[in-house]
Amino acid sequence: MSSARRELRKGLSTPKVPKVPTPLNAIVAERECDPIIDVQCNGSVLCGVLVDGGAGVNVMIIPAMRYLGLKIDRPTSVTFKMANKRVVRPEGVISIVVIIVMKVSTIVDFHVVLEEDEAYPMILGKPWLTKSHARNYWGEGYMTIRVHPHRQKVPFASFVKSS
């Protein structure tokens, strides 16, 4: 396995791309079966982003927001239950964020939450999956997103196919 591929499997960026601060990538190496991708935003690459078809919103933690140079632009009064059953009240919402996955741009909103232990820097939920016209092939370790008129294959960086 090439060293660049090994780095991607650990959730780190390739040498040509700026690295995310270590705390944001720390959890990626521990979770080998989650669908993880890299995302570009504001000229930076954020590694270790979770794709979660069960999430009703897109979520970002505060350190990732700061790393990407984004700011909360409106408050929110909603609360939602995270996968660990914890009820969370977001700090606010960042609207109209352009994210790029495999050269495909999508505009989405993010709910910003405080950092938790073992938190992913960003979770792309149903809003992103819908806007990017994603088709998931979880068992094979990849998904496709639409690049009109073709589909682009996006491999999950730290997916380990179960036998």
Judged by average pLDDT, the poorest of 48-52, 95-99, 148-152 is 148-152
32 in a structural domain? no
The reported pLDDT for the residue numbered 41 is 96
Give the burial string for 121-144 (b: 16+ CB within 10 Å, else e): bbbbbebbbebbebeeeeeebbbb
CA 134 vs CA 56, 73, 86, 128, 158: distances in Å:
15, 27, 28, 8, 18
118 compared with 16, residue with greater pLDDT: 118
> How many folded domains does the chain comprise?
1
| pLDDT the model gives residue 147 | 73
Residue 2 lies in a domain: no
State the Cα–Cα distance between residues 94 and 75, nearest whole angstrom.
9
Residue 137 in domain? yes
Q: Tell me: the pLDDT tens digits for 53-93? A: 889 999 999 999 999 999 999 999 999 888 788 899 999 99
Range of the domain at 95: 38-155
Confidence at residue 91, expressed as pLDDT on a 0 to 100 scale:
96
Q: What pLDDT score does 85 carry?
A: 87
Residue 10 in domain:
no
CATH number at residue 151: 2.40.70.10
Q: What is the pTM of this model?
A: 0.75
Asked if the model's pLDDT at residue 16 lies above 70, the reply is no
The answer to whether residue 151 sits within a structural domain is yes
Tell whether 133 is covered by a domain.
yes
pLDDT, one tens digit per residue, over 86-140 is 899 999 999 999 999 988 899 999 999 998 777 899 999 999 999 999 998 888 8
Q: Is residue 13 part of a domain?
A: no
The answer to whether residue 55 sits within a structural domain is yes
